[in-house]
Amino acid sequence: MTKELGIALLGLGNVGAGVVKLLEDNAAAITARLGARPVVRAIAVATAGKKKRLVEVDPALLSTDLASTVARADVDIVCELIGGEQEARVAVLQAIAAGKHVVTANKALLATHGEEIFAAAEARGVDVYYEAAVCGGIPVIRVLREGLASDRVEWFYGIVNGTSNYILSEMAAHGRAFADVLKEAQQLGYAEADPTLDVSGGDAAHKLAILAMLCFGTTVDAAAIPKDGIDALDPIDFRYAAQFGFVIKPIVLGRDHGGRIELRVHPAMIPDHWMLADVPGAKNALYVHSYALGPSMYYGAGAGMMPTAMSVVSDVIEIARNIAANAGGDRVQRHRSLERKPALPVADVRSRYYLRFSVEDRPGVLGRLTTVLGEHQVSIRQVVQDVPDAGAGESGPVSVVVLTHEAREGDVRAAIDVIAKSVVAPTRVIRVMGPP
Amino acid sequence: MTKELGIALLGLGNVGAGVVKLLEDNAAAITARLGARPVVRAIAVATAGKKKRLVEVDPALLSTDLASTVARADVDIVCELIGGEQEARVAVLQAIAAGKHVVTANKALLATHGEEIFAAAEARGVDVYYEAAVCGGIPVIRVLREGLASDRVEWFYGIVNGTSNYILSEMAAHGRAFADVLKEAQQLGYAEADPTLDVSGGDAAHKLAILAMLCFGTTVDAAAIPKDGIDALDPIDFRYAAQFGFVIKPIVLGRDHGGRIELRVHPAMIPDHWMLADVPGAKNALYVHSYALGPSMYYGAGAGMMPTAMSVVSDVIEIARNIAANAGGDRVQRHRSLERKPALPVADVRSRYYLRFSVEDRPGVLGRLTTVLGEHQVSIRQVVQDVPDAGAGESGPVSVVVLTHEAREGDVRAAIDVIAKSVVAPTRVIRVMGPP
């Protein structure tokens, strides 16, 4: 008789329904790989009634009691798929206390309470897996934790928020305004009713904090990661980007400066012939540069019901193998050496920059801009003044676009502060990044 | 006191030297992750004398006796890095018999003797890891085995031979002839003195056999995989490819047709805007399409001293974790359900095709070609006749290039056989592939 593996699902939304469906669809193969049959024993939901759900489940499995669901004697693994921070934190800690292994897709939870959760899991000798928390179905957590276990990650770029990537892709392809694309994305279900976490960079910062933990062995205060949203981008910036051979992508960056850790979240201009520029629509990718391997890239679906469920169930399978091999708790060791490394201050970031100044079209203006930049050690690579502001008359303000060589952000900001007196609208600053 | 982990290296060539270097360079981080200090206890080499080596090692470690090296009591893990089939097979089986875990980078060995080796390892309760055997430093084995453990791979395309990719990239970029680029690649060390295994597709077929085993649970006779080399490609084909918006890449393909397994190795035309077209020089990539995740891609260095060593040492780390958790032998279970699934005959392959006919420039020739193709159910998408054969005079033979819709390969071959009477040189057949 095949052994059974008891699973409790917390949440039966998009991802929870995907887990139920995938366990059914690939049941034979998964059972063969596990050496045990995975059985969903309980599903915690917000309302247990006869609600219309994405998959059909036995109503007897449903419960609104999180605490008793995670502690059931017939459950080996708890999959936390409710999202949010507080309720999920309590449920996960209760599951760990009850000796259950945990799989979670919750980046906000791990970015904010990861230390507490991993410490509790280590103390209790259980596993916490979270492949679905970053880049959805792309197995980047396994790649970094095991595939590159012998290597040292020097830096990485990622496109980790599919909603932002979708919006910027649409803005670039059709010259549309941010608000217009966002509205459509909400109607299509690609963006949340409250899109703040996606478009402000908050969701990306959570994922970046988790990646930094894995790559650099540091804990991170996700709220303190410098971030720019994508909502300030204007169609004119996409036109300039195309003119310079760039595309604008929502980027997270992590870099280890030998102790000080540089982390940032913002839209960036990257070369249009670079592989990361080809990541379309709502897809995600992680481009990693490590000491021994050099550059490598991992691409795929960063969200969606089945891709995310795939990562959750692959985590379940790995935990089940650990259980079968009596190796529970082994994985937790990888976080043992976490420490809080100092962050590189934004002022010390070095980057190339796209600066778009809105100025009156008067003699001497260009000279004044370039002089101020030079006085602040910001060296100019290219200046363009040939695309008039949309709707501006002949005597109205014009855009002056400057591409800089690599400069220190503190110097760039200081120069822009001085220039502020000479411009008619706030200066647009977009970082320019690319393969070295 | 930190526990030690005994390692024996078989071979101290490029990869062996890389392993020694990486263990030294990342010693502190690796020891922290392992919870044990990896110590190279013995190195088997062909000649033990004072030969110039790529890294400095204690001469006392060197031995020419493979059998006693793998059986040393102070060795836990044997890394087989000598390549080739027979000597490596014997050494690996001896290591397994002595109760040692094995890491190997040897695709020829696994493609040819994998069943025997995995069975022996399972019987003895030891692990055999082989991340470096396919795509060098890209952790595709872990991705397929663990990252996509809950998923079902439907098909994959790969660029798995860096030498071929380098040669085709050079031919495309500079319009150079195959023999010319190959010679230069040999001088630069990018190609072997005997390049047969690389340019004939033999090396790629070995890797494809391993990928098919992982993705489709089938054993494969690597020698029976249909393959075309890259040596028959002509600069004129690259010019046509560019004209059609294609690039020519050395591709391996695997597809599960619900029981019958399609495997092939050949150069293919793929859309130049597709991500796989951007894989430059000697890099490798694997593009996977699976049921739940959909498309995903894994890109990086497919060869080289440090990337390959990175995969070997990451395998060592994972085995060491298994040892620490008393989970040795767990990984071997994944191969338990292998069976020999039937291969899809080449005649039943369905693809689009690029057909280049060399014909006399006479009235009626084009009509005859298209009629024969039509009679064989080969439907034409596009015909071009505007690039004269290099060096041909006005009355000499001309090239007629046909792009077909999807057709059955058996039908295409039958049509070409009929057309053979009407052409002045063998017809060039290149498959056209792309994202669905």
Task: Mark yes or no for CB contact A139/B151 under 8 Å.
Answer: no
The per-residue pLDDT for A436 is 67
Q: Enumerate residues 6+ apart whose C-beta is below 8 A from B108.
A: B83, B84, B85, B203, B206
Task: Name which of B18, B150, B301 is nearest A22 (Cβ-Cβ).
Answer: B150
**Helix, strand, or coil here: B216?**
helix
Task: Name which of B147, B298, B309 is nearest A292 (Cβ-Cβ).
Answer: B309
Task: Mark yes or no for CB contact A22/B294 under 8 Å.
Answer: no
User: Please, what's the b/e burial string for A218-248 (b: 16 or more CB within 10 A of its CB; e: otherwise)?
Assistant: bbbebeebbbbbbbebbebbbebbeebebbb
Query: Nearest residue of A to residue B21 by CA position?
Result: A292
Beta-ladder partners of B247: B270
Reply yes or no on whether the pLDDT at A401 is more than 70. yes
Average pLDDT over chain A, rounded to whole?
A: 92
The per-residue pLDDT for A1 is 54
The per-residue pLDDT for A361 is 83
CATH number given to B3-136+305-335: 3.40.50.720
Instruction: Identify whether the C-beta of residue B138 lies closer than 8 Å to the C-beta of residue B301.
Output: yes
pLDDT digits (tens, 9 = 90+) for A224-243: 999 999 999 999 999 999 99
Task: Mark yes or no for CB contact A295/B300 under 8 Å.
Answer: yes
Q: Which of B79, B151, B312 to mutate to test the interface with A (most CBs of A within 10 A)?
A: B151
Mean pLDDT, residues B203-209: 97
Instruction: Identify whether the C-beta of residue B144 lies closer than 8 Å to the C-beta of residue B289.
Output: no
Angle B19-B207-B161 from CA coordinates, rounded to 5°: 80
Q: Which two tokens stand for residue A220?
A: 């991170």
In chain A, CATH 3.30.360.10 covers 140-301
Mean pLDDT, residues A110-135: 94
Name the minimum distance, in Å, from the CA of A276 to any CA of chain B. 9
Q: Point out the catalytic residue in the list A100, A207, A227, A283.
A: A207
Residue B409 is classified by DSSP as H
Cα–Cα distance measured from residue B331 to residue B48, given in angstroms and rounded to the nearest whole number: 35
Long-range contacts, A392-398 (Cβ 8 Å, 24+): A395/A361, A396/A361, A397/A358, A397/A359, A397/A360, A397/A361, A397/A424, A397/A425, A398/A358, A398/A359, A398/A360, A398/A361
Cα–Cα distance measured from residue B41 to residue B29, given in angstroms and rounded to the nearest whole number: 20
Which residues on A lie below 8 Å from B307 (Cβ)? 292-294
The per-residue pLDDT for A322 is 83
Reply yes or no on whether the pLDDT at B298 is more than 50. yes
Give the closest residue to A132 by CA, choosing from A46, A42, A44, A11: A11
Q: Which two tokens stand for residue A53?
A: 């759900």
Task: Mark yes or no for CB contact A330/B325 under 8 Å.
Answer: yes
Instruction: Identify whether the C-beta of residue B12 lies closer than 8 Å to the C-beta of residue B53.
Output: yes
Task: Mark yes or no for CB contact B131/A147 under 8 Å.
Answer: yes
Question: Which of A317-321, B116-120, B163-167, B367-371 is predicted with the least confidence, judged by mean pLDDT?
Answer: A317-321
The per-residue pLDDT for A333 is 44
Q: What are phi and psi of A24, to 5 degrees?
A: -75, -50
Please report the ipTM that was assigned to this predicted complex.
Answer: 0.94
Cα–Cα distance measured from residue A180 to residue A190, given in angstroms and rounded to the nearest whole number: 14
CATH class, domain B349-432, is alpha beta
Cα–Cα distance measured from residue B108 to residue B83, given in angstroms and rounded to the nearest whole number: 8
Q: Enumerate residues 6+ apart whose C-beta is below 8 A from A137.
A: A300, A301, A302, A304, A306, A307, A308, A310, A311, B292, B293, B294, B296
Which CA distances in Å does B207 have to A302, B134, B198, B309, B334? 28, 6, 11, 18, 18
**How many distinct helices (H) and strands (E) make up chain B?**
14, 16
Around Cβ B63, how many Cβ atoms within 10 Å? Answer: 17
Ranges A217-226, A362-371, B392-401, most confident:
A217-226
Around Cβ A392, how many Cβ atoms within 10 Å? Answer: 13
CATH class, domain A350-432, is alpha beta
Instruction: Identify whether the C-beta of residue B133 lies closer than 8 Å to the C-beta of residue B210.
Output: yes
Mean pLDDT, residues A363-390: 87
Which CA distances in Å does A407 have to A383, A404, A414, A415, B309? 16, 7, 12, 11, 36
Instruction: Identify whether the C-beta of residue B411 lies closer than 8 Å to the C-beta of residue B405.
Output: no
Task: Name which of A22, A292, A326 is nearest B327 (Cβ-Cβ).
Answer: A326
The per-residue pLDDT for B183 is 94
Which residues on A lie below 8 Å from B325 (Cβ)? 322, 325-327, 329-330
Reply yes or no on whether the pLDDT at A193 is more than 90. no
pLDDT digits (tens, 9 = 90+) for A266-314: 999 999 989 999 999 999 999 999 999 999 999 999 999 999 999 999 9
Q: Which of A150, A278, A318 to mutate to test the interface with B (most CBs of B within 10 A)?
A: A150
Task: Name which of B137, B297, B333 is nearest A293 (Cβ-Cβ).
Answer: B137
Q: What are phi and psi of A63, to 5 degrees?
A: -150, 150
Reply yes or no on whether the pLDDT at A183 is more than 80. yes
H or E element at residue B140 = helix B140-142
Which residues on A lie below 8 Å from B296 (Cβ)? 137-138, 298-301
Q: Which two tokens stand for residue B137?
A: 């430093």
Q: Which ranges of A38-177 would DSSP assign to H, the alpha helix? A: 66-70, 86-97, 107-124, 140-142, 162-174
Cα–Cα distance measured from residue B348 to residue A224, given in angstroms and rounded to the nearest whole number: 59
Mean pLDDT, residues A33-61: 89
Task: Mark yes or no for CB contact B325/A321 under 8 Å.
Answer: no
Mean pLDDT, residues B73-92: 96
Mean pLDDT, residues B412-418: 97
By 3-state DSSP, what share of chain B in percent is helix, strand and coil, each rounded to 5?
Answer: 40, 25, 30
Name the minimum distance, in Å, from the CA of A339 to any CA of chain B. 13
Around Cβ A298, how many Cβ atoms within 10 Å? Answer: 27
Query: Nearest residue of A to residue B214 by CA position?
Result: A33
Fold observed for domain A3-135+305-335 = Rossmann fold (3.40.50)
Which residues on B lie below 8 Å from A307 (Cβ)? 292-294
Measure CA of the first residue to CA of the last residue in chain B; give whole Å: 57
H or E element at residue A372 = helix A365-375
Cα–Cα distance measured from residue B298 to residue B286, given in angstroms and rounded to the nearest whole number: 5
Which CA distances in Å does A220 have to A109, A146, A287, B29, B417? 13, 21, 20, 20, 67
Reply yes or no on whether the pLDDT at A393 is more than 60. no
Residue A435 is classified by DSSP as -
Average pLDDT over chain B, rounded to whole?
A: 92
Query: Nearest residue of B to residue A125 by CA position?
Result: B325
Reply yes or no on whether the pLDDT at B389 is more than 70. no
Task: Mark yes or no for CB contact A326/B321 under 8 Å.
Answer: no
H or E element at residue A104 = strand A101-104
Give the closest residue to B82 by CA, choosing from B98, B94, B97: B94
Instruction: Identify whether the C-beta of residue A236 lies closer than 8 Å to the C-beta of residue A262.
Output: no
Let me know if A100 is a catalytic residue: no
Mean pLDDT, residues A83-107: 96
Task: Mark yes or no for CB contact A147/B143 under 8 Å.
Answer: yes
Task: Mark yes or no for CB contact B324/A330 under 8 Å.
Answer: yes
Instruction: Identify whether the C-beta of residue A208 lies closer than 8 Å to the C-beta of residue A222.
Output: yes
**Tokens 């792009």 appear where?**
B403
Position with higher pLDDT, B223 vs A392: B223
DSSP per-residue codes, A257-268: ETTEEEEEEEEE
The per-residue pLDDT for A321 is 84
Cα–Cα distance measured from residue A79 to residue A55, given in angstroms and rounded to the nearest whole number: 17
Name the minimum distance, in Å, from the CA of B372 to any CA of chain A. 40
Q: Which of A129, A275, A287, A310 to mutate to test the interface with B (most CBs of B within 10 A)?
A: A310
The per-residue pLDDT for A389 is 52
pLDDT digits (tens, 9 = 90+) for B141-177: 999 999 999 999 999 999 999 999 999 999 999 999 9
Cα–Cα distance measured from residue A109 to residue A121, given in angstroms and rounded to the nearest whole number: 14
Question: Which of A88-92, A265-269, A303-307, A387-391 is predicted with the least confidence, judged by mean pLDDT?
Answer: A387-391
Phi-psi map region of A259: left, alpha, beta (phi>0 left; psi -120 to 50 alpha): left
Task: Mark yes or no for CB contact A131/B137 under 8 Å.
Answer: no
Name the minimum distance, in Å, from the CA of A290 to any CA of chain B. 10
The per-residue pLDDT for B397 is 86
**Tokens 């875990």 appear where?**
B101
In chain A, CATH 3.40.50.720 covers 3-135+305-335
In chain A, CATH 3.30.70.260 covers 350-432
The per-residue pLDDT for B325 is 74
Place domain A140-301 in its CATH homologous superfamily: Dihydrodipicolinate Reductase; domain 2 (3.30.360.10)
